[in-house]
C-alpha cells in the first residue's frame, strides 16, 4: 500500500532583522518604480531548494537550524524591505514597501515523511512540493514581502522554501538575498556584531537611478486603480486557479552544452538570416516546440512572453545588485499551426532571435505593458518562461553543500517553464515545467526524440 505523505509543522517563528549593530543602509520606506508596478498583483514567486543532510535529527536542530536563524537575522539587517509589508496609503500616489521596527519574516519549521530522493528526481507529483512552500500573507490592506519554510526529511536532508512578492523584487534580487544569506550562514557572520556583507552581495536601494521618461509608472498606477476599481488599492494578488491535481506532474529536463551546440549547428543553415544564436534563444525555441505539441492549444495563436533583465541595458546601466524589479516583458507571436509543424523550432527560433535583436534599439522599446498583456491574453495561448541560468541557483551553499535539486514551484500556477543552470555540468540548461501526466509524456517523447535525431 502506498504510504500517505504528510508535513508536520513543528514551529512557527518570526525572525526580525538584527538590531544594535551598525546602522543599516537599507531604507525603511521604499517607493515602487514602474518596473515594480507591472507585477503588483502577480502571484508570489516560489522556489524550493533541497539539501542533503544524513546526520541525526538532533544535530539538525542543534547546529543547522540555529545557524540558519542567526544568519537570516543578520542578512535581513541588510535587506530590511524583505521584512516589511507592501501597502498603498491613500495619501501616496503609488504603493510602497514599508518597514517598521518589530517587523519580521515568517519562518516555518516542519518535518516531512515524503520520499526525499523522489522529490529530488526528474519527475514527481507536482502537488507533493506544495507543502514545502510557505504561505505569503496578503490582504486588501497589505501584503508580506517574503516568507520562508525549512522542512526536515529525517536522515536524508532538508528543504528551504521561499515565497516572495513579485512586486517587491525580481529573481535577480531574491537570489541575491539567498546568496547573501548563504554567505552569512557558511561564514558564521551572524555571531559577530561587526561583520558586513561583501560589496557584490550588498543591495543598492537608490530609486533615483530608475528613469521613466515615457510615464509608464503613471500609466500602470492608473490601470491598477481602475482595474476592479474605482480607486482600487487592494494588495490581493490574482488567482490563477492553480490548484493542482494528482495528474499534475513536475518534470525536469536537461539540455547539455553538447545538445545546445548541436541544435545551433543543425538549425543555423535553415534560418533566413545568419543571426547569432544564443543559448537562451535555442533553449526557449526548442522547449516551445515540444510544449505546443504536447498541449495542443485550441487557440489560433501562441504568444510567448519572456522577461529581459534591464540592469545592464539601461542608459546609463545600473548596478547588478540593485534591489527591486528591473525586468520588462517582450513577446513572440505566431500561429499555433506553425509551432506544431516540422519547422516549429525554426519559427520559434526566428521569432525569439528577432525579438532579442530589437533590444539593440532600447530594452524598453516594444516592451509588453499591462494593457498589451491583457489584449494578448484575450485571443492567444500564452506561454512564458521564468528563472534564468544566470541566477546560478545551484551555487547557493549554506555551508553543507550545494543543493541537490532546485524547483520553482510557482510555475504550477502560472503555466510558465523555468530555466536554470544544469546541476550536472557547466554550460548545460535545466528546464522545469508542470503538465498533466499525459502531456508530460508527450513532451518528454518529443524532447528526447528531437535530440536523438540531431
The residues annotated with a catalytic role in the active site are: 166, 397
Q: Could you write out the DSSP letters of every residue in 174-198?
A: HHHHHHHHHHHHHTTGGG-TT----
d(CA 227, CA 216): 16
For residue 251, how many other CB atoms are within 10 A of its CB?
Answer: 22
Helix 437-452 vs helix 279-295: angle between axes, to the nearest 10 degrees? 130
Query: What backbone torsions phi and psi does residue 396 show, to the nearest 5 degrees?
Result: -85, 100
Concatenated DSSP letters of 35-77: HHHTTTTSPPEEEEEEEE--S-HHHIIIIIHHHHHHHHHHHHH
Task: Kindly state the cell numbers that stand for 300.
Answer: 489560433
Sign of CA dihedral 381, 387, 390, 395: negative
DSSP label at 405?
Answer: E
Measured CA to CA, the distance from residue 14 to residue 233 in angstroms comes to 27
Q: What residue spans of 83-122 are helical by DSSP H? A: 116-119
DSSP H or E stretch at residue 252 = strand 248-255
Q: Is the bond into 50 cis (omega within 30 degrees of 0)?
A: no
Residues 163 and 129: beta-carbon distance below 8 Å = no
CA distance 4 to 172: 37
Amino acid at each position: 500500500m502506498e504510504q500517505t505523505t504528510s508535513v508536520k509543522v513543528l514551529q512557527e517563528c518570526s525572525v526580525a532583522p538584527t538590531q544594535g549593530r551598525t546602522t543599516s543602509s537599507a531604507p525603511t520606506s521604499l517607493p515602487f518604480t514602474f518596473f515594480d508596478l507591472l507585477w503588483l498583483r502577480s502571484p508570489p514567486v516560489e522556489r524550493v531548494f533541497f539539501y542533503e543532510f544524513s546526520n541525526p535529527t538532533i544535530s539538525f536542530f542543534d547546529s543547522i537550524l540555529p545557524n540558519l536563524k542567526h544568519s537570516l537575522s543578520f542578512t535581513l539587517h541588510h535587506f530590511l524591505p524583505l521584512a516589511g509589508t507592501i501597502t498603498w496609503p491613500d495619501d501616496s500616489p503609488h504603493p510602497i514597501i514599508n518597514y517598521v521596527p518589530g517587523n519580521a519574516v515568517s519562518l516555518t519549521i516542519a518535518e516531512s515523511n515524503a520520499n526525499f530522493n523522489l522529490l529530488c528526481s526528474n519527475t514527481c507529483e507536482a502537488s507533493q512540493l506544495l507543502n514545502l512552500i510557505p504561505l505569503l500573507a496578503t490582504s486588501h490592506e497589505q501584503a508580506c514581502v517574503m516568507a520562508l519554510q525549512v522542512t526536515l526529511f529525517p536522515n536524508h536532508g532538508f528543504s528551504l522554501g521561499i515565497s516572495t512578492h513579485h512586486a517587491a523584487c525580481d529573481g535577480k534580487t531574491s537570489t541575491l538575498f539567498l546568496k547573501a544569506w548563504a554567505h552569512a550562514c557558511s561564514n558564521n557572520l551572524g555571531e559577530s556584531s561587526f561583520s558586513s556583507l561583501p560589496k557584490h552581495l550588498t543591495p543598492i536601494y537608490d530609486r533615483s537611478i530608475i528613469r521613466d521618461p515615457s510615464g509608464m509608472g503613471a500609466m500602470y498606477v492608473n490601470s491598477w486603480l481602475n482595474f476592479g476599481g474605482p480607486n482600487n488599492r487592494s494588495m490581493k494578488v490574482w488567482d490563477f486557479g492553480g490548484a493542482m491535481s494528482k495528474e499534475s506532474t513536475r518534470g525536469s529536463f536537461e539540455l547539455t552544452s553538447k545538445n545546445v551546440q548541436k541544435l545551433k549547428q543543425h538549425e543555423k543553415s535553415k534560418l533566413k538570416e545568419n543571426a547569432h544564436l544564443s543559448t537562451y534563444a535555442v533553449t526557449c525555441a526548442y522547449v516551445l516546440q515540444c510544449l505546443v505539441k504536447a498541449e495542443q492549444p485550441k487557440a489560433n495563436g501562441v504568444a510567448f512572453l519572456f522577461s529581459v533583465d534591464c540592469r545592464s541595458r539601461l542608459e546609463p546601466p545600473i548596478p547588478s545588485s540593485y534591489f527591486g524589479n528591473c525586468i520588462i516583458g517582450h513577446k513572440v507571436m505566431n500561429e499555433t499551426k506553425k509551432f506544431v509543424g516540422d519547422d516549429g523550432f525554426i519559427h520559434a527560433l526566428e521569432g525569439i532571435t528577432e525579438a532579442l535583436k530589437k533590444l539593440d534599439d532600447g530594452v524598453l522599446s516594444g516592451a509588453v505593458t499591462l494593457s498589451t498583456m491583457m489584449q494578448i491574453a484575450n485571443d492567444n495561448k500564452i506561454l512564458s518562461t521564468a528563472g534564468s541560468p544566470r541566477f546560478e541557483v545551484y551555487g547557493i551553499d549554506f555551508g553543507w553543500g550545494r543543493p541537490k535539486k532546485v524547483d520553482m514551484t510557482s510555475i504550477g500556477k502560472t503555466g510558465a517553464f523555468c530555466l536554470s543552470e544544469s546541476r550536472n555540468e557547466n554550460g548545460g540548461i535545466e528546464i522545469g515545467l508542470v503538465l498533466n501526466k499525459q502531456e508530460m509524456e508527450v513532451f518528454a517523447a518529443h524532447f528526447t526524440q528531437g535530440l536523438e535525431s540531431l
